[in-house]
Amino acid sequence: MATTEVPSHFAGRDLGAEDLALIREVVETCSGISRTELAKTVCELLGWRRPNGSLIALECREYLESLEACGFVRLPPLKRRRPKGSTTRIPRTARGEPGEALVGSVEELGSLSLEEVRSSADSELFRELVGRYHYQGYTVAYGAQLRYLVWIEQPHRQVVGCLRFSSPAWRLSARDQWIGWSETARCSNLQRVVNNSRFLLLPWVRIRNLASRVLAQGARQMTLDWPTRYGLEPLLLETLVDPARFQGTCYRAANWIEVGLSAGRGRMDRAHQRHGLSPKKVFLYPLVRGAARRLRES
């Protein structure tokens, strides 16, 4: 059935013929369940769990779809749902309406806090703000993610921005060259890299140096929250900046390192149809001393 080479690496694991045969058997015998349930079943049978014990189901589903793309398995038809990476309906509420212009200095804002999005109300607000005011809009994140609302206390308590961290790009040449890891080490340690996939300060907020302060505080906050949520210590942050719109000044001010340009394909362009279409600046932020060395260890 397979028409191209079957990918035999998943989440740092080398898969043998028995593993692949089991996956094919599960897909063929459980064709009546959804792709998500298939992924959970495969994870249960093969013991694919995060260090905190939760199943690696989201990434496993993407792996199953890569097996289907090369002709190794035939998955159940897609059900109507909101796919990862897709845009979604954006609510418009009073909470998301533009506020009064905020100008001044960071010192005048009172305390600055990043609060993880947990409630449905905060999730709706995050989606609305990013959807209405971020130039890329709101899309469903790939894999693991943490979302934060950025709050200030002065002149009154209010949200001034949004920050999201999510699973890393599968391959990113400038990042991979900076780390210098082998393919084995990349497969083993990729999930210790986290992508800053959305960063928004609301357009009526014009506080000098606020962006770099939010980035610095976000890096500290996520190093505490990511292991709690996913049981894995993050070692490196990555982000992509569109040079046609931004220069990455706030990232540099927060001590991120510019390491080159992306290929401009997008993470889901497996056929390389968009190569070089929109290259982005690649910025990295080591979260620990010797991050690159630790990521090279396999």
Would you tell me which CATH number, out of the four given (3.40.50.450, 3.40.50.2000, 3.40.50.10490, 3.40.630.30), belongs to the domain 94-296?
A: 3.40.630.30
pLDDT(271) > 90: no
pLDDT(274) > 50: no
Which residue has better confidence, 58 or 285?
285
In this predicted structure, what is the pLDDT of residue 5? 81
Furthest C-alpha separation in the chain: 65
In this predicted structure, what is the pLDDT of residue 272? 44
Q: How much is the average pLDDT of 208-233?
A: 93
Q: How much is the average pLDDT of 45-61?
A: 85
Residue 101, classified by CB atoms within 10 Å of its CB into exposed (0-12), middle (13-18) or buried (19+), is exposed
Local confidence band at 270 (pLDDT 50, 70, 90 cut-offs):
very low
In this predicted structure, what is the pLDDT of residue 161? 97
In this predicted structure, what is the pLDDT of residue 226? 93
Instruction: Count the Cβ atoms, other than its own, within 10 Å of residue 6.
Output: 17
Q: How much is the average pLDDT of 201-210?
A: 94
Quote the CA–CA distance of 61 and 205 in Å, as a whole number. Answer: 39
* 101-110, 119-128, 174-183, 240-249: range with lowest mean pLDDT: 101-110
pLDDT(1) > 70: no
Q: How much is the average pLDDT of 225-254?
A: 93
In this predicted structure, what is the pLDDT of residue 200? 97
Where in the chain are the domains? 9-69, 94-296
In this predicted structure, what is the pLDDT of residue 86? 54
Q: Does residue 143 contact residue 54 with C-beta atoms inside 8 Å?
A: no
Local confidence band at 276 (pLDDT 50, 70, 90 cut-offs):
very low
* 96-100, 103-107, 266-270: range with lowest mean pLDDT: 266-270
Tens-digit pLDDT profile for residues 56-66: 888 898 899 88
In this predicted structure, what is the pLDDT of residue 268? 44
10 phi, psi to nearest 5 deg? -150, 125
pLDDT(269) > 50: no
Tens-digit pLDDT profile for residues 164-179: 999 888 889 999 999 9
Quote the CA–CA distance of 145 and 125 in Å, as a whole number. Answer: 17
Quote the CA–CA distance of 49 and 91 in Å, as a whole number. Answer: 35
Local confidence band at 50 (pLDDT 50, 70, 90 cut-offs):
confident
